[in-house]
Amino acid sequence: MSQLHRRFTSDQVKALLERYLKKEVERSYIQEVLSIKRRRFFTLLNQYKEDPQHFSIQYQRTTPARISLEVEHNILKELTIEKGLIQDKETPLKSYNYSFIKDHLKKKYRQKVSVTTVIRRAKKHGFYLKKPKRTIHDREVLTRYVGELIQHDSSFHLWAPAAQEKWYLITSLDDYSRLILYAALVKKETTWAHILALQTVIVRYGLPYCYYVDSHSIFRFVQGRDSNWRKHHLLTDEATPQWKQVLDDCNVKVTYALSPQAKGKMERPYGWLQDRIVRICVREDIADIKPAQQILRQEIHRYNFQQVHSTTQEIPYFRFQRALKEKRSLFREFKMSPPYQSAKDIFCLRMDRTVDPYRRISISSLQFKVHADPQKEVNLRICPLNDQISEIRFWCEGKLIDIQKVKNSELKGVHF
């Protein structure tokens, strides 16, 4: 059906509207004659009432038919950058992001274009890739409460190509709301980095019901290959990793994914973050992890507070808050359990030592004098305060017997 102004003159439409106002013809007949819907009818009627003499249905273009040469140049410039990123085997980008280019043009150049305009230029100048066929996967939310399941993982990528080194992105995501509760870039993936993620989530939101992780050695101990004497599955979890000890102290359950495919719910946020963070870091020539972390925070805010999730069809933050208001939460208040006195006693690295006859204990060549009887076992709770100093809290038979600060370089037997 052609447009209204191509089928009728303004005078013809005016005559019909006038007859409606005089109650000579019902609205439904006029809508059928003009082939318009109810909303369009009342829009025309209001325009006619406001100014009957100058009423017109002739279409007037409000935007220029063609984009300027400057806008055209900037679109091609950004598409060229995109092509370079896709061709670089070190970056995780495999396709063009035309929506990002549209947003970037508006933010950097204050030029407003549609995604369709960008795609047209891309196809015309060879900046277009056919989308690969994907395996159909019906994603769904299986949890019913916030805090029921926290997806925790890390991703190792070249987030800022100018830095010429890959970093780890550690994240924690609430399964029900898809809200990203924690996100940080780190140069080295360590047990302590993951414990800090636990502390941030638990102190801010409370104790969840369960954490969901893969079988990385930081999260789970698995004995090496089978032999005639040992079967590795029998020795799984025989030794408890430091990260899991923290959750054991908090009475939080841990579930392990049996395959990378089982962690699919985390892949979508990671893919979305990769798409944007890498592109922004390239355009802003980011070469250091600190400004990259700032970009990450901006994109996490965008994801949590502005982006409608494709599975839930809701913005994560508002879905999370709605669940809290409806009292559909399995988060529990974090409180210190006796005999522990500080969060440093929970979110820490641990080791046990036996007091020698001289009332001393040692970590490699480092020795400590302690107020405990010989042969007693002392539990050391080590909390790094910064990159140089750590605080060691000495516990014996349920009592805090000493607190000392040492240089991290002297703790050679401790793997942070």
pLDDT at residue 385 greater than cutoff 60: yes
Mean pLDDT of 159-165: 93
**Are the beta carbons of 218 and 194 closer than 8 angstroms?**
yes
Lowest-pLDDT range of 198-202, 205-209, 360-364: 360-364
CB atoms within 10 A of CB 303: 22
- C-alpha 177/C-alpha 309 separation (Å) is 9
258 DSSP assignment:
S
pLDDT at residue 226 greater than cutoff 60: no
- C-alpha 100/C-alpha 206 separation (Å) is 35
For the entire predicted model, the pTM comes to: 0.75
What is the residue-wise DSSP string for 98-141? HHHHHHHIIIII-----HHHHHHHHHHTT---PPPP--------
* pLDDT at res. 229: 45
Structure tokens at 302: 């965008």
Phi, then psi, of 278 in degrees rounded to 5? -60, -45
162 alpha-carbon distance from chain centroid: 23
E strand spans, 195-285:
210-213, 253-256
How long is the chain?
416
Mean pLDDT across the chain: 87
Nearest residue to 390 (alpha-carbon basis) of 408, 403, 412: 408
Mean pLDDT of 96-106: 92
284/221: higher pLDDT: 284
pLDDT at residue 402 greater than cutoff 60: yes
What is the residue-wise DSSP string for 166-203? -EEEEEEEETTT--EEEEEEESS--HHHHHHHHHHHHH
* pLDDT at res. 266: 54
Alpha carbon distances (Å) from 416 to 131, 378, 411: 43, 20, 10
244-278 pLDDT, tens digit each: 999 999 999 999 987 655 555 556 677 778 889 99
Angle between helices 69-87 and 115-124 (to 10 degrees): 70
* pLDDT at res. 58: 81
109: buried, middle or exposed (CB in 10 Å: 19+, 13-18, 0-12)? middle
